[in-house]
Amino acid sequence: MSQRQAWDLVRFARTLTFFDTVPVLKDLDWLKQMILGDDSPTGTAPRSGLGRVLVVTANDAELLAVALRDRGFEPVVTSSASLRVEQFAGVRAAILADATPAAIALAARELPPPTLLPVFDFRRADASVRGWWGAVDDVVMGGVSQSGLQIAGDRARFAGEVSTANNGGFASVRTRNFEPPLDLSGCAGLELVVKGDGQRYKCILRGENRWDGIGYAMSFDTVATGGAEDWQTVRLPFAEFVPVFRAKVVDAPPFAPERTCALQLMLSKFEYDKALNPKFQPGRFALEIAAISAYRDFPVPQVVVLEPGADLQAVLAEQSLHWAAAAGGTPEAIAHQCAQFWRGQMA
């Protein structure tokens, strides 16, 4: 019989503190800072729906910006003359009221694909994004596995050491609860761009903000290659996520993507209902992640152009952008048309 290893009470306390599961600590920021140190929660929350849009105009766009905000968007206003790569950070679509070939080319290079809604794009992330992710290892049930998520250059790295000692056998990283929850309605599933080590991992979604509630899980296999650019694109349809509670399948409604409260990535010796993970190997592991996005089964316009002439239409076609033309009119009318395009109602 193997000897039981020492349980790390301090790490257990840090986990509970990070995820605000101790009511008495929830509003005591100074005490949380003392317990967590550099691992204190930080960073900007992912945005629901389309979120941030870039408005490129030569005129005063304040009324258009107000109309877009009223529809749940976050407009960033600039002009073609002052347009810079940095302004595309977090931007998911653009309105080109002042369209130039240079602006169109930059949008084609910097905007996400028309079928993707980025949730975490680690290729463009700064280090503060890590503050949204905390470890949830088997220390919560007496185990000794350890893991974490780090931002390294153009990727995140979920890595650590998983051990079956003390009846444990899982390591994971989870986001804090999104407040408000992410609205991924209109999307068919998640797309992960990863580089793995040959093990089988789980992606877990949570539709409630409880710490220990029902999650929706789906497993995915990775390929051990070792090549510098051997990235996998993994698609996980929402319809195939299984409702689970502590790795046991439960009777629950299907996952509702319009209320996505948290994300979790896990390596576990178990699949579901005590079945073993056939690819599980205890010891060191690493999963690199370039991006986590929601994907649609239909494209939405990356850019909306106001009354483009034939010359601009030719430039748009050359750049292979998915675009839509909007009639002019009042800022309210323009914002209404853009909202319909981006929600897939006028594709």
**Counting Cβ atoms within 10 Å, is residue 343 exposed (0-12), middle (13-18) or buried (19+)?**
middle
What is the rounded distance in angstroms from the CA atom of residue 258 to the CA atom of residue 253? 14
Query: What 3-state DSSP class applies to 323?
Result: strand
346 pLDDT above the threshold of 70: no
pLDDT of the residue at 256:
96
Within 8 A by CB and 6+ apart from 70, the residues are: 335
Give pLDDT tens digits for 180-229: 898 898 899 999 999 999 999 999 999 998 888 999 999 999 998 766 66
Give pLDDT tens digits for 308-328: 889 999 999 999 889 999 987
Correct CATH for 123-295 of 1.25.40.10, 2.60.120.430, 3.30.9.10, 3.30.1390.20: 2.60.120.430
pLDDT of the residue at 335:
92
Of 329, 50, 5, residue with least CA distance to 186? 50
pTM of the model: 0.84
Query: Where are the domains positioned within the chain?
Result: 52-115+298-342, 123-295
CA dihedral of 232, 236, 242, 246, whole degrees rounded to 10: 40
What is the rounded distance in angstroms from the CA atom of residue 131 to the CA atom of residue 137? 17
Beta bridge partners of 343: none
Superfamily of domain 52-115+298-342: Response regulator (3.40.50.2300)
